[in-house]
Amino acid sequence: MENILGALTRALGLIISLDKEVFSIVLLSFSVSLTAVFFSSLISLPLSLLLALKKFPGHRFIVNTINSLMAVPAVAIGLVIYLVISRRGPLGALELLYTPWAMIIAQAVLVTPIITSLSLQTLKRVGSMVKETAVSLGASGWQLIITVVKEAKSSLMAAFIVGFARVIGETGMTMMVGGNIKGVTRVMTTAIALETMKGDFELAVALGIILLIVAFGVNIILQTMQGAGR
Amino acid sequence: MNIETKKVYKSFDGKDVLRNINMRIVENRINCVIGPNGAGKTTLFKILTLLDRANSGEVYFDGSPSSSLSAEEKLKLRRKIGLVMHNPFMFNTSVWKNVAYGLKLRGDSDIAKKAEEGLKIVELLRIKDQSALTLSSGEAQRVALARAMVLEPEILFLDEPMVNLDPLSTKIMEDLVFKMRSEYNVTVVMATHNLLQARRFGERVFVLRQGEIIQRGTAEEVFHYPNSSFAAEFVEVGNLFRGKVIIEQGAQKLDLGKIKIEIVPHPEFGETGTAVFATLRPEDILLSLEPLHSSARNSFLGEIMNMQDRGGIIWVTLEPVPGLSSAKTESGSIPFVAVITRRSKEEMGLKVGMRVYFTFKASCVNLFE
């Protein structure tokens, strides 16, 4: 008990004193996960819009594939990305392994099916309501897309936040491709795992608290959005 | 704009929703499509407004088949057509922005003035800054009408526009529909299952049943001379009988079993014994305490079985009394329904069980097979 309380006190000290190491880890975590979500959105938003507003041959197959990909374990994605970017892999020449970019790629791959599927559900629902009204009022194809995105914006934002929360809390996969190198690829989750194994709880608890705050913060934002949106 | 359909079919999951629709919308008039829920009215409207495509058949806009139009031409055409759905969708923004939406899409240079005018017409300018999601269904319907009207469409489709509306909103909507047609020369196509409305509005009426147009014509034709038992029941013709055409003393009559009624000659039912349906509108029946001396050839004594007050108008159900006047004794009940005002009812002292004369002209009896 004393051990836990001591670790908690020292952890709070680290946070309050704006410890350099703690904040560089937090900053890297945020920048890696936000970048991953950003790149993911470049694929998931147009793809979900296309699937929500158009029916075409193979439509069902793509939707089913996306839904199946959501179930792929993160560690399996980590393994595949590792093999692809490792020195002897097809993208080995790019020397991405154990860099923040490796983590970004893995996280983007992990989160893309999740964001696409969530966005698709939202856009389908909103699209079916908006489409007839917008088109009957004279919207062209592009005007319809803009209207649908505008109407669905809070739910879409929620999909991105859920995606962000998923990847910022990811450990195993991030460790595999990032390597948990201090000052380079050490993020909150990998640092917590390492420090705990070392028995050095101070930093682990400090990062754990921040991670919890992030999780709660995300939840609060989501609930506020659900209250304000449709 | 002239819209015409030829042999339009539409099905969903193998189930026919529209079958062999051939119709021509009458320009600068109020066209009413009436039919029960599920008759295919909304699907028909979606096809006529280019929101959906027929499985087969063709819709012609000013003579050009819609299937040969490019996406750009379709957009151009759509922008001349207005559509107000029942339960209209409101964009998650202010009332004013909802009304301005279509104008903005068109890059209109006078958005502010037009949107304001539109809201003024539907009497909702005072709530222009309110969120459109907080509107009552009546208000939303009016905003939707304003949103379509400001675009100055050549033809306006209204799908059940007055369902579930409060009396004030209904009145405003009805006045607007008349105004659109008379002041702005807009062709109106309105789907409704409110028969009173269809009678009042419909300069051209189409009766839709299970995806087929079973009757078309002026409101007068459809409501007074329904051509099928379905149309008759649907337009609440009041009196629908099944009988046989017979010839008595060289003249055609209709034998209803209990009584025989005089009809105008129908050469198409030449053979004696042809089974036909007959309809008679309640307002064509006159009630009197004494026999009437008039040119009307059908007059019977009847007993009042029931009286129902329908908002100031009384629906009186009468059973012809056998053995008197020209009624002949036979089993089976053939109730006649007549309408009178509450005042007449009081003046005549009508009560259930009383006997009165009911009289109608032979020409008011509509026959069909």
How far is Cα B264 from Cα B266, in angstroms, rounded to an integer?
6
A90 touches chain B (CB under 8 A): no
Q: From the list A129, A138, A150, which residue is nearest B102 (CB)?
A: A138
Would you call B106 and A129 a contact, using CB atoms and an 8 Å cutoff? Answer: no
pLDDT of residue B22: 96
CA distance B203 to chain A (A): 25
Residue B230 contacts residue B236 (beta carbons within 8 Å): no
Element (H, E) at B299: strand B298-310
Across the A:B interface, residue pairs with CB atoms under 8 Å apart total 48
Over residues B52-91, the pLDDT tens digits come to: 999 999 999 999 999 999 999 999 999 999 999 988 999 9
Nearest to B64 by CA among B142, B4, B150, B118: B4
pLDDT of residue B43: 95
pLDDT of residue A184: 93
CA-CA-CA-CA torsion sign (B248, B254, B255, B260): negative
A137 touches chain B (CB under 8 A): yes
**Cβ contacts of A140 on chain B, cutoff 8 Å:** 75, 105
How far is Cα B360 from Cα B244, in angstroms, rounded to an integer?
19
How far is Cα B81 from Cα B279, in angstroms, rounded to an integer?
38
Q: From the list B71, B91, B106, which residue is nearest A138 (CB)?
A: B106
Residues 6+ apart with CB under 8 A from B10: B16, B17, B18, B40, B43, B47, B52, B54, B55, B211
Which parts of A152-200 fold into alpha helices (H)?
Answer: 153-168, 172-178, 188-198
How far is Cα A14 from Cα B237, in angstroms, rounded to an integer?
86
Would you call B105 and A137 a contact, using CB atoms and an 8 Å cutoff? Answer: yes
A143 touches chain B (CB under 8 A): yes
At CB < 8 Å, which residues of chain B contact A? 46, 49, 51, 71, 75, 78-79, 81-83, 85, 88-89, 91-92, 101-102, 105-106, 133, 147-148, 151
Q: Chain A residue closest to B46 (CA)?
A: A132
**Cβ contacts of B78 on chain A, cutoff 8 Å:** 135-136, 138
How far is Cα B354 from Cα A77, in angstroms, rounded to an integer?
89
pLDDT of residue A19: 84
**Cβ contacts of B102 on chain A, cutoff 8 Å:** 137-138
**Cβ contacts of B79 on chain A, cutoff 8 Å:** 138
Encoded amino acid at A35, one letter: T
If you average pLDDT over residues A15-28, what whole number do you get? Answer: 88
**Cβ contacts of B92 on chain A, cutoff 8 Å:** 151, 229-230
**Cβ contacts of A137 on chain B, cutoff 8 Å:** 101-102, 105, 147-148, 151
| Upper half-sphere CA count for residue A139 (Cβ side, 13 Å) | 18
Q: Which two tokens stand for residue B363?
A: 């020409």
pLDDT of residue B133: 93
A138 touches chain B (CB under 8 A): yes
**Cβ contacts of A145 on chain B, cutoff 8 Å:** none
Given a cut of 50, is residue A31 above it in pLDDT?
yes
Would you call B91 and A151 a contact, using CB atoms and an 8 Å cutoff? Answer: yes
How far is Cα A203 from Cα A193, in angstroms, rounded to an integer?
10
Over residues A34-69, the pLDDT tens digits come to: 999 999 999 999 999 999 999 899 999 999 999 999
Nearest to B33 by CA among B50, B46, B52: B46
CA distance A225 to chain B (A): 14
pLDDT by 10s per residue, chain B, length 369: 899 999 999 999 989 999 999 999 999 999 999 988 888 999 999 999 999 999 999 999 999 999 999 999 999 999 999 999 988 999 999 999 999 999 999 999 999 999 999 999 999 999 999 999 999 988 999 999 999 999 999 999 999 888 877 878 888 888 888 888 888 889 999 998 777 778 778 889 999 989 999 999 988 788 777 777 777 777 777 888 888 898 888 888 898 888 889 888 888 887 778 888 888 888 889 999 988 877 778 889 999 998 988 777 888 999 988 655 444 444 567 889 999 998 899 999 999 999 999 999 888 888 887
Over residues A163-214, the pLDDT tens digits come to: 999 999 999 999 999 999 999 999 999 999 999 999 888 888 888 999 999 8
pLDDT of residue B330: 47
CATH numbers and ranges of domains, chain B: 3-233 (3.40.50.300), 237-368 (2.40.50.100)
On whether ipTM exceeds 0.85, the answer is no
Element (H, E) at B31: strand B30-34
Return the higher-pLDDT residue of A83 and B308.
Answer: A83
pLDDT of residue B238: 81
pLDDT of residue A1: 62
CA distance A230 to chain B (A): 8
How many Cβ atoms from other residues are within 10 Å of residue A198's Cβ?
10
**Phi (first) and psi of residue B278, to 5 degrees:** -130, 140
Would you call A151 and B92 a contact, using CB atoms and an 8 Å cutoff? Answer: yes
CATH numbers and ranges of domains, chain A: 2-228 (1.10.3720.10)
Residue with tokens 């301005």: B100
Q: From the list B51, B71, B133, which residue is nearest A136 (CB)?
A: B51
Q: From the list B49, B89, B148, which residue is nearest A130 (CB)?
A: B89
CA distance B90 to chain A (A): 8
pLDDT of residue B325: 46
Strand bridging mode B239-248 / B251-255: antiparallel
Would you call B51 and A132 a contact, using CB atoms and an 8 Å cutoff? Answer: yes
pLDDT of residue B332: 63
Torsion of CA B147, B152, B156, B159, to 10 degrees: 0
